Structure 1
Amino acid sequence: MALVASGTTASPAASAARGVGPLLRSWRERRRISQLELALRADSSARHISFVETGRSRLSEEMVLRLAEHLEVPVRERNALLVAAGYAPRYRQTPLDDPALGPLREGLERLIRGYEPYPALVVDATYDVVSANRGITMLLEGVPQRLLAPPLNAMRLTLHPEGLAPRIRNLREWRGHLLAQMERQLALHRSAALRELYEEVAAYPVPRGAREAAGAPGQVPYFALPMRIEHDGRVLSFVSSISTFNTPMDVTVAELAIETFVPADPATVEYLHSSWAGESREAGRE
């Protein structure tokens, strides 16, 4: 699957109307940081932070960015803070298909292809799949075509009762893990689109007879919660790892995440490598 453009645009007018003070207070409260603690981190004073939040003091552009950094405000929302404070946005939002991001796209494609036969994919801030390797394609075998129509969404594909959900042996645990992951993101990002997606997938019914938990008696203990999924009469086990870019300077890049699925047991490793070798032999005969 190839990389495609994605992302949404914040409303500068809405941010400016609110003012930077209430926005900063909202982020501070969301992070559960006192005015004094924020002041110490940002080399300021609690009095100054209080004046900023109530609109009695004007912030410099540098101070807006410094507070945003200490509050771990996402890049997209840092632009909103700057606009609310009367400054121009600092961070660009380059479409993923822009020639300027060509090296990034090529690097991501090489990265996830190099991870084969293990599954790997790239998603945006609302879990739309922008690239995936053949390991992911293998797991999607048998999913109805209507669920595979663009834009593919990783959460929908996984939790939809006609998607991967009926084949996930520890669905209740894995579903709980994914929903908790989205809840943590919603606590960090003010995203209406992510909230809408969460409400949609959380409302999906759990298929009747949802399978056993990952830690059922007699199973080998796992080092992390696995996704145990049926494929071609076997049960494959994976744990997932998510990577993001360090210090991104572009909204689009900041919101990309690379998810890789690490085999959680020797049987999964053996099956994936044997299947990969079989496909390679078939391709060589063509």
Structure 2
Amino acid sequence: MTIVASDAIALSPGSSEPGIGPLLRRWREQRRLSQMELALRADSSARHISFIETGRSRPSEEMVLRLAEHLDVPVRERNALLLSAGYAPHYSETPLTDPSMGTLRTAMERLIKGYEPYPALVVDALYNVVAANRGIMMFLEDVPKHMLAAPLNVMRLSLHPQGLAPRILNLREWRHHLLAQMDRQIALQRSSELRALYEEVAAYPVPDAPDHADSELDEPVAYFALPMRIAHDGHALSFISSISTFNTPMDVTVAELAIETFLPADAATVKYLQTTDM
């Protein structure tokens, strides 16, 4: 099964900033770099960096992109830096539904379909689901329809008391992991919408751990990473999640996509998935 949701979400633009100086200084301070450290990385001088930040010097387009690269500025915000310096955006933002994205859509769909019966999905920068395979449907059983309305949001679905939260056996640990993941992402980019989502899901009440039937899957297991343990049809299934992004993206939409796969964390979960008709 494939779910196609909304196109890339517009994050806080930052185009209202007075100039590149304050923006550059903000990113440098956020990365905890001195002017000298940034200068050494970007093959420049601390004096030139200082002049840019104070507005005494206008950097070239190439210098803006070089500084953005060494500051690990998200692609969307690199466009904002260029605009603040008086240059045109360097990175396009193509809707995922555009015909030119057909090859990318097909490749992602093949990738997550090939991962079945294990769950896999693709999300955008706000954790809205762009595509999902049949393995994900196992998680959605018994979830109220209003929780599945488009755009389907992974964070809301996972942490809402009417979503998956009552079925996640180690909810407090998994909740802490998800919130920490969002917090790290917020630190990397200026997104008021992501911050609002974080504050919303962090405020959800935490339901008690659910009761579930004993099964062979409940035997003690030494996990190699924090699993998501979720109840399904009287069984306790365990998954380790992995997130992949595209290297050196040249489009904002592509830069903000992430492919999340759920790897069974024990042999019993593997056996269960391979013998269950989903």
* Normalised-by-shorter TM-score class: over 0.9
1:283 corresponding residue in structure 2: none
Pairwise mapping of residues 31-110 of structure 1 onto structure 2 (< 5 A)? 31-110=31-110
**Cα distance 1:6–1:44, how it changes in 2: closer, same or farther (>3 A)?**
same
Pairwise mapping of residues 185-224 of structure 1 onto structure 2 (< 5 A)? 185-209=185-209, 219-224=220-225
In the aligned structure 1, how far is the partner of 2:266 from the partner of 2:174? 17
**Which range moves more in the overlay, 3-12 or 64-73?**
3-12
In the aligned structure 2, how far is the partner of 1:117 from the partner of 1:132? 12
2:274 corresponding residue in structure 1: 273
Does structure 1 conserve the Cα–Cα contact (< 8 Å) formed by 2:168 and 2:209?
A: no
Residue 238, structure 1, aligned to residue 235, structure 2? no
In the aligned structure 2, how far is the partner of 1:142 from the partner of 1:4? 21
1:255 corresponding residue in structure 2: 256
- Residue 219 (structure 1) shift: 2.2
Partner amino acid, structure 2, of 1:142: D
Partner amino acid, structure 1, of 2:169: R
Partner amino acid, structure 1, of 2:188: L
In the aligned structure 1, how far is the partner of 2:270 from the partner of 2:11? 43
In the aligned structure 1, how far is the partner of 2:185 from the partner of 2:263? 23
Is the partner of 2:15 in helix, strand or coil? helix
Residue 140, structure 1, aligned to residue 140, structure 2? yes
**Cα distance 1:116–1:196, how it changes in 2: closer, same or farther (>3 A)?**
same
- Residue 104 (structure 1) shift: 0.3
- Residue 208 (structure 1) shift: 3.0
- Residue 2 (structure 1) shift: 2.8
In the aligned structure 1, how far is the partner of 2:7 from the partner of 2:200? 20
TM-score w.r.t. length of structure 2: 0.94
1:8 corresponding residue in structure 2: 9
2:215 corresponding residue in structure 1: none
Does structure 2 conserve the Cα–Cα contact (< 8 Å) formed by 1:10 and 1:80?
A: no
**Which range moves more in the overlay, 2-11 or 157-166?**
2-11
Is the partner of 2:3 in helix, strand or coil? coil
In the aligned structure 1, how far is the partner of 2:105 from the partner of 2:240? 25
2:214 corresponding residue in structure 1: none
- Residue 9 (structure 1) shift: 3.5
Higher relative contact order (CA 8 A, sep 6+): 2
Does structure 1 conserve the Cα–Cα contact (< 8 Å) formed by 2:9 and 2:125?
A: no
Give per-residue Cα distances to partners, 1:223-278, cap 9 Å, x unaligned.
Answer: 000000000110000000000000000000000000000000000000000014xx
Does structure 2 conserve the Cα–Cα contact (< 8 Å) formed by 1:3 and 1:105?
A: no
- Residue 11 (structure 1) shift: 7.0
In the aligned structure 1, how far is the partner of 2:28 from the partner of 2:17? 19
- Residue 6 (structure 1) shift: 2.0
| Unaligned stretches of 5+ residues in structure 2 | 212-217
Partner amino acid, structure 1, of 2:52: V
- Residue 210 (structure 1) shift: 6.5
In the aligned structure 1, how far is the partner of 2:196 from the partner of 2:180? 15
Pairwise mapping of residues 119-130 of structure 1 onto structure 2 (< 5 A)? 119-130=119-130
In the aligned structure 1, how far is the partner of 2:24 from the partner of 2:84? 10
- Residue 10 (structure 1) shift: 5.6
In the aligned structure 2, how far is the partner of 1:17 from the partner of 1:188? 18
How many residues matched? Answer: 272
Is the partner of 1:18 in helix, strand or coil? coil
Identity within the alignment, %: 72
- Residue 138 (structure 1) shift: 1.2
Give per-residue Cα distances to partners, 1:138-194, cap 9 Å, x unaligned.
Answer: 111010111001110000000000110001110000000000000000000101110
Structure 1 runs (4+) deviating above 6 angstroms are: none
